[in-house]
Structure 1
Amino acid sequence: MLRSRTLVTAVTALTVLAGTPAHAGPRPGLDLDRAETHQHIDGFGYSIAFQRATLVHNLSEAKRAEVLDLLLDRRKGAAPTILRLGIGSSTTDVYDNMLSIQPNDPGGPAATPNYQWDGWDGGQVWYVREARKRGINRFYADAWSAPGYMKDNGTDANGGSLCGLAGVTCASGDWREAYARYLVQYAKFYQREGIRIDEIGFTNEPDWTAPYASMRFTPAQAAEFVKVIGPIAEQAGVDLACCDSFGWQQSDAYAQAIEADPEARRHLDLFTGHGYASPADRPLPITAPVWMTEWAPSSVSDGWNEAWDSGKGTDGIAVAQRIHDTLAKADASAFVYWLGSSRGATAALVQVDNTTDSYRVSSRLYAFAAYSRFIRPGAVRIGVDGTPAGLAVSAYRNADGTEVVQIINTSTETVRTTVDLRKPTAYLTDSTHKLEEAPGLVTGHGGHPTVELAPRSLTTLVSGHPGRG
């Protein structure tokens, strides 16, 4: 999603939210149910589409290095494990546009393609290379629209539909296969750069018409196109993702259309949804792995906000709660935030100002990093019993055996409880701590130490010694 107003994986977990005051002494403890496993975790990420990578590139060398560390580094930054790229459809590469690899009509859908590749792709090739230097190797590329000449409205913006889909007739002919091959060619260009695109998506918010790059698909049309592009993507060795609906509940219709079509379901590798029209608060009705591939709070009224807890939707604690719900309520295997960096009144993790060669960091970055640094790809979410009122708790087991418990204290009181972890390391994120190690929060020995949870905070507990039970 691109809007000036920013509209509206092995580890396992279970969640309870409430809101009553804390007791003076330790409350009944958190017990991990290690036999209760939920979804696997593929990772956490954000988008670098619509020229946002160029903002970072255009900083001075020193500032660029600092921002790259903030956005990519495992130990001191956001620590993403997934990047979402934008597949261009525009005839220009000005800011907020993404240049097409075939800007002009080659002469119809059956004509020999006239693909063009600049090796830059709006800064995304450069950014991906920087990410790979830091161990990030999962890249999902998504198209917001087909080029205008492939659509019934003649432009890549303002919705419109792909020519040749059921119910869409164009004088230029049926562009479905040509569009499928166009998308796969994009992945091939990255392969030429030595970069593997793991998944490609052919639509972004197919149920939302936007004044920028956008294209409509009904659920039935989405299932239809999955069957067109699926064999082509498989032959190229690229997984197929769909459907990036505008809202989580709105995703139901797309999931059901694909799930009801055996051929479409066979070709789909990953189901994707967004969290704008409705939040991710329950699982979706599909058997494919599910990712949340875009959400950010609206910055229309908030403007640029760095606060952890100021009562605004763009606060860090609000983002932490969204990540928690996406994993623990919706069973998503990945959480992909909208933008890592942007400019102006943005809800991105980092604000970049090229005119002053400066940047600012929001508490949203530390909320994101609290999950992404410690819950690694291949983790599985596990169960939690005995969650005290006022807490949102989820637990995960990484492939290396380390266990992670994420605890959001939504109350305004300090809460003390015990937790079923051996010798955990505690990290605190709140209004005065930026994902900082806080050894004083954990006291006691054995398998159930006491942890003190600051008001309106996120406490991350990491144990390298799995407990009993």
Structure 2
Amino acid sequence: MAVRSTTIVAALAALAEANWGGGYNSGPVVSVNTQQKYQVYDGIGVSEAFQRSLVIHELDTPSQTKVLDYLFSKTKGIGMTILRNGLGSSPDQPFDLMKSIAPTAPRSNSSQLNFIPLPREDQYQVWLSYQAISRGVDTIYADAWSADGYMKTNNTENYGGYLCGVTGTNCASGDWRQSYANKIVKYIQDYEALGIKVKYVGFLNEPDLNTTYASMQSDGRQAADFIEVLYPTLKRAGLQTQIACCDGSGWEQNRERLTGIQQAGDEDKLGLVTAHGYSSKPGAPFNTSKHVWQTEWSSFDPINYKWYTKENYQSDGLTWANYVQQGFSRSNMNGFLYWWGAANTTDNQSLLFINNTSEVKVTKRLWAFAHFGSRFVRVGANRVSASVAGGDGLLNVTAFANTDGSRAVQVINNGNNTETVTLQGVQYHGKVTTVLTNEANDLTYGVARNQRGAVSAVVPGKSLLSFYIESNGHGW
């Protein structure tokens, strides 16, 4: 038995030596240049709007902890750092609606709004915010899908309509822009009174669409009309919360709104540019100096737990790994958000599926996001230059330089062939950790091969592998 074991070990060693080329790899080479810096990394995130926070809250304690750790812990989960909350506009609070803090219309547009306390902890978004912050989330983004119905041209929070007072509207009830701004300020103040700072606030969601649920339409000029009221209202209230706009249903739909705001001369009043990925996928970067986030995107195919599927590829883990990577590398995003983190849904709108009060199922999409979360990429990092030479042209790479001196390099192998990838120009002391995700692995840790100054690792086909170099005082 001992002889057989020794023989096997020797054979494996010989095979490894042949594959690794004695320290000189002839496979693909990834070149990283930390002197060439690009955008700052703000993080990745999710939403639990439309009372999905309540769904998490109603889980039994072990399942609840599992969900929260999966989403927000940087040691047990994927380390998301952004939470997008829904700023309600509904007069009622049945499940799947978000109640307003000013549900009853005042006597007129110049009257004070009839504010009520945050309804049921804002559908447990307050509770979720506390839980997320305790696990490392540092950015709360509050976004409204619509103004209250009595402030709009169609007198309902649903079915589109426009905010009374913006260009092109003529409401008998008058101009409601200031009232809407006052409501947003009160919402932020309510959160701050509970110790939760809202860093960004949005007043639109998919304003290019007219939907059966909460929605409000707006072009760029109309968005600027409201920004010109909201911006000074926030300042007068002494709030540091910055304005985000406009959560267009797709990348190009939001580009149109941003262009309109720029033409109106109000871009300087924005703190953040936000877009979704539904109607058009992220593409060329926006022409703006503001930080840019993709704030909502998912798939509506039947539930897919797999890493790679030919038939249902739009919802598999590998596809979303590419979406996230390309968002940072091609569209120069500062942040990337999926739609729901965890939800009781029957399609791919979430990363985790909740079937009852105790059953939580994990998709491979979750682990795709983990490679770009705070386990490896810290808020404030810079994306840096990374390129690949060799291979079959199916490798995509990104690299981030953290402010603490650590580095993370993500390599996606979209091909079927296993590739031995070498990092070029790496200065390091000690081991270089590898992290592998594919159909058989969920963040499986390993150690890169280090021989004669070459750091290499095997990247199987249809896989995502990250190199992580810890801070050692020397950097790269």
Report the TM-score when normalising by structure 1. Answer: 0.90
Contact 1:142 1:201 in 2 (8 A): yes
Contact 1:381 1:394 in 2 (8 A): yes
Amino acid at match of 2:417: E
In structure 2, distance between residues paired with 1:459 and 1:128 = 31
In structure 2, distance between residues paired with 1:407 and 1:320 = 10
Equivalences for residues 47-196 of structure 1 within 5 A: 47-117=47-117, 118=119, 120-196=121-197
Q: Among 394, 402, 407, which residue is 1:403 paired with? A: 407
Q: Is 1:445 paired with 2:448? A: no
Deviation of 1:216 (Å): 0.1
In structure 2, distance between residues paired with 1:38 and 1:298 = 33
Deviation of 1:447 (Å): 4.7
Q: Is 1:211 paired with 2:212? A: yes
Deviation of 1:408 (Å): 0.5
CA-based RMSD: 1.8
Cα pair distance change 1:23/1:221, threshold 3 Å: farther
- Report what 2:14 is aligned to: none
In structure 2, distance between residues paired with 1:56 and 1:346 = 17
In structure 1, distance between residues paired with 2:345 and 2:203 = 29
In structure 1, distance between residues paired with 2:189 and 2:452 = 54
Task: Give 3-state SS (helix, strand or coil) of 1:132's partner.
Answer: helix
Task: Give 3-state SS (helix, strand or coil) of 1:349's partner.
Answer: strand
Name the stretch that deviates more: 121-130 or 309-318.
Answer: 309-318
Amino acid at match of 1:130: Q
Name the stretch that deviates more: 127-136 or 416-425.
Answer: 416-425
Deviation of 1:146 (Å): 0.5
Task: Give 3-state SS (helix, strand or coil) of 2:441's partner.
Answer: coil
Contact 2:295 2:338 in 1 (8 A): yes
Deviation of 1:71 (Å): 2.0
Contact 1:316 1:367 in 2 (8 A): yes
Deviation of 1:135 (Å): 2.4
Cα pair distance change 1:468/1:362, threshold 3 Å: closer
In structure 2, distance between residues paired with 1:456 and 1:395 = 19
Q: Is 1:418 paired with 2:422? A: yes
Contact 1:447 1:468 in 2 (8 A): no
Structure 2: 5+ residue runs without aligned partners? Answer: 1-18
Contact 1:231 1:267 in 2 (8 A): no
In structure 2, distance between residues paired with 1:52 and 1:154 = 26
Q: How many residues align?
A: 441
Q: Among 289, 295, 298, which residue is 1:296 paired with? A: 298
In structure 2, distance between residues paired with 1:54 and 1:448 = 50
Task: Give 3-state SS (helix, strand or coil) of 1:435's partner.
Answer: strand
Q: 1:33-91 CA deviation, whole Å, 9 max, x = no partner?
A: 22211100011100111001111110112221222222221111121101000000001
- Report what 1:330 is aligned to: 331
Q: 1:90-121 CA deviation, whole Å, 9 max, x = no partner?
A: 01222211000011101121112211113510
Q: Is 1:429 paired with 2:433? A: no
Structure richer in helix, relative to its length? 2
Q: Among 236, 254, 257, which residue is 1:251 paired with? A: 254
Deviation of 1:187 (Å): 0.5
Task: Give 3-state SS (helix, strand or coil) of 2:454's partner.
Answer: coil
- Report what 2:242 is aligned to: 239
Q: Is 1:267 paired with 2:269? A: yes
Q: 1:125-174 CA deviation, whole Å, 9 max, x = no partner?
A: 01011112212221000000011111111110110100111111111111
Task: Give 3-state SS (helix, strand or coil) of 2:378's partner.
Answer: coil
Q: Among 367, 386, 392, which residue is 1:384 paired with? A: 386
Q: 1:330-389 CA deviation, whole Å, 9 max, x = no partner?
A: 0000001111011131320111123x5311111111111111121111000000133442
Cα pair distance change 1:115/1:39, threshold 3 Å: same
In structure 2, distance between residues paired with 1:63 and 1:28 = 42
Structure 1: 5+ residue runs without aligned partners? Answer: 1-21
Contact 1:247 1:277 in 2 (8 A): yes
Name the stretch that deviates more: 49-58 or 290-299.
Answer: 290-299
Comparing both chains, which one has the higher relative contact order based on Cα–Cα distances under 8 Å and sequence gaps of 6 or more?
Answer: 1
Amino acid at match of 2:47: S
Percent identity between the two aligned chains: 35
Task: Give 3-state SS (helix, strand or coil) of 1:59's partner.
Answer: coil
Contact 2:219 2:260 in 1 (8 A): no
